[in-house]
Amino acid sequence: MTATFRRTPLAVALISTFSLPLVAYAQDTAPAAGTAPATQLPEVKVVDERDSENTYKPEQVESPKFMQPLVNTPQTVTVIRKEVIADQGALSLTDALRNTPGITFQAGENGNTASGDTIFMRGFDAQGSIFLDNIRDLTPAVRDVFNLEQVEIFKGPAGADNGRGNASGYINLVSKTPLAEDSRSMSVGYGTEDRRRISGDINERVGESLGLRLNLVAQDGGVAGRPQIDREMWGVAPSVTLGLGTATRLSLFSQHIRQDNTPDGGVSAIGVSGWRNTILEGANSTGEVVNPREVDSKNFYGLKSDFEDIRANMFTVRVEHDLTPAVVIRNTSRYSKTDQKRVLSAPLQAPIVSDANPTAGQPPVLRDDPDTWTVNRSRQASYRENELLTNQTNLQFRAIQTGPVTHDVSTGFELIHESQYTPTLAVVAGQTQVAANLYNPNPNDPGVQLARNGVYTDGSTNTGALYLFDTIKLGEAWQFTAGGRWERYETDTDSTALSTVANFPTLPAGTLVPTHAEDADNLFSWKTGVLFKPATNGSVYVAYANSLRPPGGDNFTLQAATTNAAGTPNANINAVGLDPQKAKNLELGTKWDFLGGRVAATLALFSSENKNDLARQSDDSVVQYGKKTAEGVEVGVVGQVTSAWQLSFGYTYQDTEVKDGARFVQANGDVLSPQDGVAINFSPKNFVNLWTTYKLPIPLTVGGGIRYVDSQGRTTALRTATAGGDGTITAANAGILKVEDYTVIDLMATYDITPMYSVQFNAYNVADEDYVASVNNSGQRYFPDIPASYMLSLNVKF
């Protein structure tokens, strides 16, 4: 069964617009008289040799909705260019994002363990806010960087830019497309755990107006520090531009990725610094308190039969036409489809520490020998199919004069169809998964069989949107920006579920129950800013923006309102009838270009708030009053300090807080709110990112970087809090309650053998810092980051 395309008015309108690109290109492709070609990314300039080496500093983002250079953009935006990614030997989006402070990574849940890029920015989830060429990207895979020109990070709520979104902001990935200048490069690398990788980037200009580009990658091998994990993938991304350098340009580009991986369910958190468990803190049969030793971070709790197969295909058509030197229209159409199949085994929350159930009211009796301890495995299957079909039209007007005021206007409309189909595979009745030895798990243990049980979720969202952005310039010193986006969304979900006494008390347990849920509404997001330029190379600004995230906004899954046997409403953030989550951000900042424009420096104070989170009360009912905040400061410096020295630096201090969390009513009528005033889950206060390279007088470039992430806590450890005898709050101490701070140092060196050949050596975590990279919500399992490791590459330019 596959996702269906429902014939709603939005869906019909979306289909009808897909003839626009070819109709637009039917116009004469010759340059109009007096017409200048549109700026492309990256911009091609005639500059001296020293400036041409300034590859770290960006000037502008790719989106046509942003018409000003970054120094005049009243918003915190970090751009990581492909040259930084290449110097660092970064291979994935996760690797690249370590260049910006304020980002953390967490483990997935419910079969999504280590699936895709689980990203948090400023304490808020950003997983559903990743875009590819300004189009939402639903790929449930670890994203490779082989076809990325640059990575753009927009921090803080920004619903006006792309529609429904989280309080975190969003990430935009820019695909490589044909450039005006010929270039050819290839890289072959070998690294720790027998990792092998080859990639190529070939750009050719044929004649006066035809551009071709081909990007390729193939990779095979293990993961440093996780010898049982294997990652195999290949990708190809061809692109062609007709009319390159003319007034009318037609670009066709696609991307095709195949991954065949051993999925990683993580490592048991027992014994890790910051971990606690009340059972294991009890006494064993000899009356001694047990202090369990830490599990080896190389332990693999999965099974040989675990697998992950991902296929992702994307096709894009883009037409651009310069109506005049100041008016440009762009139309983009895209279809993408991703299929993911995975079977994964992971350690469960608590170890089995005795052979029999404990006596009622008494703690379990620990086995005397920890080497005999075992941990249950969770064996889950995740089959998922995503489709996207969209058409977007943008119209830019530059330098519209209305008296003493100048306007730069970007406006347009978007039609989007997104769908996700997910069948459920469950353990075949009568089977029990073999537990794993806690300290010496065996991947050759037999795995239970999984089969479809008739349960599935088939959801889709159709969206139609109109937007308008205006930058108003009053003289040379003042700029006022305002933008708004109105969108209409319609979400439909068909699903089935197996009845339980709790969810369907009137039906026999195990009955397959079909359900249908739908929701539709209008959303309006907006932003505004005031910017003052005390000098031509700097700005000071204040800005405000908001965003809205309706139910089903991330996975197109709605749930009809249900109650349990006691009549208490069941909790689900995607329940029909809930209000959208509402986020807002206030920012005061300044941006400056120094050293003749070679170095950019930024400073921003921010205050973000997210309302309408779900919060649980003492009767287990759920209300929508939750509120979380994040306040802090972010500093950035990037660019070319001298002709030989480039750097990228970032620092963030953030103070996050749960304002309205779970509430518990006591027998005496007192209301306890144990989460209020506590930091948001795993949101460190301090981040530091530094990367720098220096080109020596000999044909050798050396570089290195340091990353520091402060300690972070787990707020949800308090979610089951109750009142103690004296009325104080006590917590169930289980799992990792705190992740320790860590510092990681990376180094690189590149030796130019000839102008054509160079050898690059990247050493990661050279101090072999042992730290926790990400943790699941319960704190019972974690993912270690890579230990000391390396990659040696031969780079060729021809």
Bridge partners (DSSP) listed for residue 396 = 328, 410
Report the distance separating Cα 609 and Cα 124, nearest Å. Answer: 10
Contact 37, 30 (CB under 8 A): no
Report the distance separating Cα 393 and Cα 135, nearest Å. Answer: 12
Tokens of 501: 């006494």
Domain annotation for the chain: domains and CATH numbers: 9-797 (2.40.170.20)
The pLDDT of residue 565 is 52
Strands 700-709 and 512-535: unpaired
Beta-carbon neighbour count of residue 12 at 10 Å? 12
> Closest Cα to residue 99, out of 627, 620, 649?
649
The pLDDT of residue 310 is 96
* Residue partners of 141: CB distance under 8 A and separation at least 6: 115, 116, 257, 259, 310, 312, 338, 340
Which residue's structure tokens are 């920012």? Answer: 587
In one-letter notation, the amino acid at residue 508 is: P
Which residue's structure tokens are 């980051």? Answer: 785
> Closest Cα to residue 145, out of 76, 203, 78, 87?
87
Tokens of 795: 């780079």
Residue 42, preceding peptide bond in cis (omega within 30° of 0): yes
Side-chain-facing half-sphere of 38: CA atoms under 13 Å: 26
What string of DSSP letters covers 257-307? EEEEE-----EE-TT-TTEEETTTTSBBTTSPBP-PPPPPTT---S-TT-E
The pLDDT of residue 676 is 82
From residue 478, alpha-carbon distances to 404, 405, 425, 532, 541 in Å are 12, 10, 59, 5, 10
DSSP one-letter code for 615: E
User: What is the pTM assigned to this prediction?
Assistant: 0.89
Contact 43, 155 (CB under 8 A): no
Which residue's structure tokens are 């989550």? Answer: 581
Side-chain-facing half-sphere of 798: CA atoms under 13 Å: 8
From residue 106, alpha-carbon distances to 109, 119, 732 in Å are 10, 7, 21
Can you tell me whether residue 516 is helix, strand or coil?
Answer: strand
| SS3 sequence of 414-458 | EEEEEEEEEEEEEECCCCCCCCEECCCCCCCCCCCCEEEEEEEEE
Dihedral (C-alpha) 551, 555, 558, 559: value to the nearest 10 degrees? Answer: -110
**Residue 335, Cβ density class (10 Å: 0-12 exposed, 13-18 middle, ≥19 buried):** middle
DSSP one-letter code for 39: P
pLDDT (tens digit per residue) in 762-795: 999 999 999 999 988 778 889 998 999 999 999 9
* Residue partners of 387: CB distance under 8 A and separation at least 6: 3, 335, 336, 337, 338, 417, 418, 419
The pLDDT of residue 213 is 98
Query: In Å, how far from its chain's centre is CA 99?
Result: 14
Low-confidence ranges of the chain (pLDDT < 70): 1-54, 108-117, 277-291, 349-368, 561-573, 615-623, 666, 715-734
Beta-carbon neighbour count of residue 433 at 10 Å? 17
* Residue partners of 291: CB distance under 8 A and separation at least 6: none
In one-letter notation, the amino acid at residue 387 is: E
Report the distance separating Cα 589 and Cα 605, nearest Å. Answer: 6
Tokens of 249: 């340009």
Taken in order 267, 166, 103, 793, the sign of the CA dihedral is positive
* Residue partners of 28: CB distance under 8 A and separation at least 6: 248
Dihedral (C-alpha) 200, 205, 209, 212: value to the nearest 10 degrees? Answer: -20
What string of DSSP letters covers 325-338? TTEEEEEEEEEEEE
In one-letter notation, the amino acid at residue 144 is: D
